Amino acid sequence: MATATFRIWRGEKGSGKFRDYSTEVTPGMVVLDSVHHIQAEQANDLAVRWNCKAGKCGSCSAEINGMPKLMCMTRLNSLPLEQPVTIEPMKAFPHVKDLVTELSWNYGVKKRIAKFKPRRPDAPDGTWRMVQEDVDRVQEFRKCIECYLCQDVCHVLREHHMHDQFIGPRFLVYAAALEMHPLDDADRIPNLRTQDGIGLCNITKCCTKVCPENITITDNAIIPLKERVVDRFFDPLTKLLRMFKAGSG
Amino acid sequence: MSEYLTHEYDVLVIGAGGAGLRAAAEASAGGAKVAVISKSLLGKAHTVMAEGGIAAALANVDERDSWQVHFADTMRGGQYLNSWRMAELHAKEAPGCVRELEAWGAVFDRTVDGRILQRNFGGHRYPRLAHVGDRTGLEMIRTLQDHDVHLGMDVFMEYTVVTLLKNSDRVAGAFGYDRERGRFHVFRAKAVVLATGGIGRAYKITSNSWEYTGDGHSLAYHAGAALMDMEFVQFHPTGMIWPPSVRGILVTEGVRGEGGVLRNGDGRRFMFDDIPAAYANQTADTEEEGWRYTQGDKNARRPPELLTRDHVARCIRREVKEGRGSPHGGVFLDIAWIKERIPNAAEHIKRKLPSMYHQFKQLADIDITQEPMEVGPTTHYMMGGIRVDPDSQMSDVPGLFAAGECGAGLHGANRLGGNSLSDLLVFGKRAGEYAARYARENSLGTINPDEVALAEKQALAPFESDSTEGPYAVQYALQDMMQDLVGIVRQENEMLQALERIEQLKARAQRVGVSGNREYNPGWHTAIDLNNLLTVSELVTRAALERKESRGAHFRDDYPAKDGKFGSFNIVIRKGAGGDPQIIREPIPEMSAELKKIIEEMK
């Protein structure tokens, strides 16, 4: 039976070191399987988050050979096993233990964003009508599994630690899902410009590249939101022209 | 209680899946001060895995649908062991709950005229499942999560409850620990809602995550509440089987709803070979008719692939056992074949079943638009659970409520797909409403410090043990044993053997030792969860021994037929005075004439 070596970050609250574990490899395995084997057989107290093991819950985010990924969706046959596979916790968040990081900042940010506020119902029975084409656009954003890999890779958070000025790609996607929701009436544009710090994103698209749900974060969510902010606050002429166009079209 | 961190609430909700979050919203709306305890991070609960949809007779796609038809379908699917009152409330209230989700921001797929689209599912007479592609559960939990956090409740993420606290016969709170620091907490509460989900981790092959260790079932049982229908464990017919590491991961019934067919190793559509009498009138005679049904032809009847889950799972097992399986011991589920029928089939499949497409592509190197999947049964859902009052969801223990999978009654002997998400909404809402009411009418109970001290001592015991017995080895041994001896097909001698093995495993669990400290230590958490797993495994086995017939999800090789006299009662288990389980055959209450008439008319 083939074996592979996994070089896993062990330690608490930022201090720690890599430890090597060798374990058996069988066809079809993903990185999370190896972590579970190691946990069951060699390191019962190895801290790791996971839930669905099917890429649907976004719990098992980590950096595998330096790349932000879901451990449950990373096949071992996609990695060079002749050298150790390194597994580290996400870097953009405070470390807790081993592969677990402190994610409560994300929950706090989300709570600050104005909640969904539907327009008045379209039908007397209190229901609404929406066409699938309008729904498709927000459904892309609502696929997000909140794995926070996009936050992890965003240099504004990861390198510059501007967590108090910038909400990060995940919550720009969340804001886009609300702003483009066919029923939503709330206005998040002023806050996107100020407290949410949308201007800090310089569209390097790192977030889009790591999204396990293949959400086109930068092009479909962030850029349209940036345009709305610009239209509202910086470019009255464009705004007028657009109104004119919309009126005549 | 000075040595513990102590919190006080009106309503404490244990569990943060669909039922817990819906209960918390309703209790908050009722003016209660609410806390939610989440075993994982918020938004990661098993609800997120639900794929197919929420069953509700909105009648958006087929105007013939109504609460009456939904009620009759649910009762037929549950083989009439359901709490008929719960089935009635569920069918009546599910549409409102779905519309409410939309008002809270959920974005369902649409009909051509802009209403909520509904799809076909096993056991449902008409297209009834409101859905979002094949990620309906994610939509539901995210909507509830984003709604709830603005209601002013406190959410305790990554906390686990180890015991309920009582004040004489009523509930007074709960005692648990936080994962991150390993500190103990006392939660005092006027009312407690259990919404802890299922027991899937008692089995080796399961679609359930690490969390589903029967916590609510076990907490309630040890607190003196009665459990019901514990013999009914649903094995979903289609889980992934290859490669080994993905074994058990769910393949949504939506694949069959969209026209996917089951074939054995010889290429035969074996589901046509065995159609139960109760469904003969509703099932297609030909492959052609079945296809037309999946494409919305209202004059066609459903293909046999959309019979109830218990039946489909057993047919698959039969094919495999009789040597007609697929190479890795399952059968083939084929959606790619629809390219013979519709243009752009590959795009259609990717749009309707996007996460199935990615799941197979990434985990199994299979392109489901081109080739069939290999599937087999996987432990999926627990029909049995805490016996509750159908209207209020209160258990036998005053102030203790239960909703969702850890409660019992709605599904009887077998749950229909899609009825779980609607169950979470309807009965989560009710549990929250009645818990808030109970909290208004009662004050905080007194906590018994001895009870807390004992629970703490038991929780810390694995650190004191110098045994080399590790928690994972015991858990794996239990899972293997339950899979082999109390699985999809059961018999008396095997289950008696299972009871002996459970006693041995209990002794091993007592000895389990863990290394490391109390901070985020999964080994320790697994050791604590073992107690719950062993409790529910024993109760499942005892109930399954008692039901000497085959019905719904419970199939006995030694009693392969349904027996009418077993159709008149539920099996109820409670902890006896000496600590041993007491089994009661509890007669099903007489159904109202109105409901009886509905069932007769729908036969």
Our answer to whether residue B236 is catalytic in this structure is yes
Mean residue pLDDT of chain A comes to 95
Our answer to whether residue B256 is catalytic in this structure is yes
Counted residue by residue, chain B has a size of 603
- Which residue type is seen at B105? G
User: Is the Cβ pair A58, B44 closer than 8 Å?
Assistant: yes
User: Is the Cβ pair A142, B107 closer than 8 Å?
Assistant: yes
How many angstroms separate the first and last alpha carbons of chain B? Answer: 59
The residues facing B487 across adjacent strands are none
Q: Looking at CA atoms only, how far is residue B95 from chain A in angstroms?
A: 11
Please list, in sequence order, all residues whose beta carbon lies within 8 angstroms of the beta carbon of residue A23, skipping any fewer than 6 positions away.
A3, A4, A6, A34, A37, A38, A41, A42
Strand duo B385-386 + B373-382: pairing: unpaired
User: Is the Cβ pair A142, B358 closer than 8 Å?
Assistant: no
Which residues from chain B sit within 8 angstroms of residue A143, using beta carbons? 135, 138
Query: What is the distance, to the nearest Å, from the Cα of residue B188 to the centroid of all Cα atoms in its chain?
Result: 28
A119 class by beta-carbon count within 10 Å (0-12 exposed, 13-18 middle, 19+ buried):
exposed
Query: Confidence band (pLDDT; 50, 70, 90) for B355?
Result: confident
Which residues from chain B sit within 8 angstroms of residue A96, using beta carbons? 180, 519-520
Contact B180/A at CB under 8 A: yes
pLDDT of residue A59: 98
Please list, in sequence order, all residues whose beta carbon lies within 8 angstroms of the beta carbon of residue B269, skipping any fewer than 6 positions away.
B261, B262, B263, B287, B304
Over its C-alpha atoms, chain B yields an Rg (Å, rounded) of 23
Counting DSSP H helices and E strands in chain A, the numbers are 10, 7
Please list, in sequence order, all residues whose beta carbon lies within 8 angstroms of the beta carbon of residue A136, skipping any fewer than 6 positions away.
none
| Surface of B (96-135) touching A: CB under 8 A | 99, 102-105, 107-110, 113-116, 132-133, 135
Residue the block writes with tokens 């649908």? B65
Q: How far, in Å, CA of B454 to CA of B457, rounded?
A: 5
- Which residue type is seen at B180? E
The residues facing B166 across adjacent strands are B171
Angle value at C-alpha B236, between B235 and B239, nearest 5 degrees: 115
Q: How far, in Å, CA of B92 to CA of B88, rounded?
A: 6
Tokens of A229: 């902010």
Rounded to two decimals, the ipTM of the complex is: 0.94
Distances (CA, A) of A81 to A7, A63, B539: 12, 16, 45
| Count of beta carbons in the 10 Å neighbourhood of residue A159 | 10
Residue among B40, B42, B99 whose CB faces A126 most closely: B99
| pTM for this predicted structure | 0.95
Which residues from chain B sit within 8 angstroms of residue A73, using beta carbons? 362-363
pLDDT above 80: residue B139: yes
Q: 3-state class of B297 per DSSP?
A: coil
Residue among B107, B146, B210 whose CB faces A115 most closely: B146
Contact B139/A at CB under 8 A: yes
pLDDT of residue B397: 98
Among chain B residues, CA nearest to A120: B103
Residue among A28, A131, A146 whose CB faces B243 most closely: A28
The residues facing A3 across adjacent strands are A24
| Surface of B (571-600) touching A: CB under 8 A | none
Q: How far, in Å, CA of B410 to CA of B426, rounded?
A: 11
Mean residue pLDDT of chain B comes to 96
pLDDT tens, position by position, A143-155: 999 999 999 999 9
User: Is the Cβ pair B209, A142 closer than 8 Å?
Assistant: no
Q: Looking at CA atoms only, how far is residue A160 from chain B in angstroms?
A: 26
The residues facing A61 across adjacent strands are A70
User: Is the Cβ pair A51, B209 closer than 8 Å?
Assistant: yes
User: Is the Cβ pair B245, A184 closer than 8 Å?
Assistant: no
Contact B146/A at CB under 8 A: yes
Q: How far, in Å, CA of A171 to CA of A106, rounded?
A: 8
Residue among B114, B155, B243 whose CB faces A27 most closely: B243
Tokens of B35: 């806390």
pLDDT of residue A210: 98
pLDDT above 90 covers what percent of chain B?
Answer: 96
State mean pLDDT over B294-308: 94
User: Is the Cβ pair B362, A131 closer than 8 Å?
Assistant: no
Q: Nearest to residue B110, comparing CAs of A79, A130, A174?
A: A130
User: Is the Cβ pair A45, B522 closer than 8 Å?
Assistant: yes
pLDDT of residue A249: 42
pLDDT of residue A218: 98
pLDDT of residue A239: 64
pLDDT of residue B97: 98
Which residues from chain A sit within 8 angstroms of residue B465, using beta carbons? none
Strand duo B184-194 + B400-402: pairing: parallel
pLDDT tens, position by position, B471-502: 999 999 999 999 999 999 999 999 999 999 99
Instruction: Say if residues B542 and B534 touch (Cβ distance below 8 Å).
Output: no
Instruction: Say if residues A85 and A144 touch (Cβ distance below 8 Å).
Output: no
pLDDT above 80: residue A244: no
DSSP of B177-232, one letter per residue? EETTT--EEEEEEEEEEE-----GGGSSSBS--TT-S-HHHHHHHHTT--EE-TT-
DSSP of B511-568, one letter per residue? H----S-STT-HHHHHHHHHHHHHHHHHHHHHHHHH--S-BTTB-BSSS-S--GGGGG
Residue among B137, B243, B521 whose CB faces A45 most closely: B521
Q: Looking at CA atoms only, how far is residue B133 from chain A in angstroms?
A: 9
Q: How far, in Å, CA of B45 to CA of B208, rounded?
A: 10
Instruction: Say if residues B7 and B187 touch (Cβ distance below 8 Å).
Output: yes
User: In what helix (H) or strand (E) does residue B356 lie, and over which residues does it extend?
Assistant: helix B354-364
Q: Give all strands (DSSP E) within chain A, no chain letters.
A: 3-12, 15-24, 61-64, 67-70, 85-88, 95-97, 100-101
pLDDT tens, position by position, B233-262: 999 999 999 998 899 999 999 899 999 999
Q: Which residue of the set B236, B263, B309, B311 is catalytic?
A: B236
- Sheet containing B385-386: which strands, arranged edge to edge? B385-386, B227-228, B569-575, B581-587
User: Is the Cβ pair B520, A100 closer than 8 Å?
Assistant: yes
H-helix segments, B365-470: 419-441, 449-464
Please list, in sequence order, all residues whose beta carbon lies within 8 angstroms of the beta carbon of residue B596, skipping any fewer than 6 positions away.
none
Q: How far, in Å, CA of B35 to CA of B152, rounded?
A: 9
pLDDT of residue B245: 86
pLDDT of residue B51: 87
Which residues from chain A sit within 8 angstroms of residue B364, using beta carbons? 28
Q: Nearest to residue A149, comparing CAs of A113, A109, A103?
A: A103
Query: Confidence band (pLDDT; 50, 70, 90) for B3?
Result: confident
Contact B356/A at CB under 8 A: no
Q: How far, in Å, CA of B528 to CA of B506, rounded?
A: 12
pLDDT of residue A238: 67
pLDDT tens, position by position, B7-56: 999 999 999 999 999 999 999 999 999 999 999 999 999 999 998 999 99
Which residues from chain A sit within 8 angstroms of residue B155, using beta carbons? 107
Which residues from chain A sit within 8 angstroms of residue B472, using beta carbons? 39-41, 44
User: Is the Cβ pair A181, B107 closer than 8 Å?
Assistant: yes
State mean pLDDT over A76-91: 97
Please list, in sequence order, all residues whose beta carbon lies within 8 angstroms of the beta carbon of residue B134, skipping any fewer than 6 positions away.
B51, B52, B252, B254, B352, B353, B354, B355, B356
Among chain B residues, CA nearest to A107: B42
pLDDT above 60: residue B264: yes
Contact B398/A at CB under 8 A: no
| Count of beta carbons in the 10 Å neighbourhood of residue B384 | 35
- Sheet containing B129-130: which strands, arranged edge to edge? B54-55, B129-130, B118-119
User: Is the Cβ pair B139, A142 closer than 8 Å?
Assistant: yes
Contact B472/A at CB under 8 A: yes
Which residues from chain A sit within 8 angstroms of residue B378, using beta carbons? none
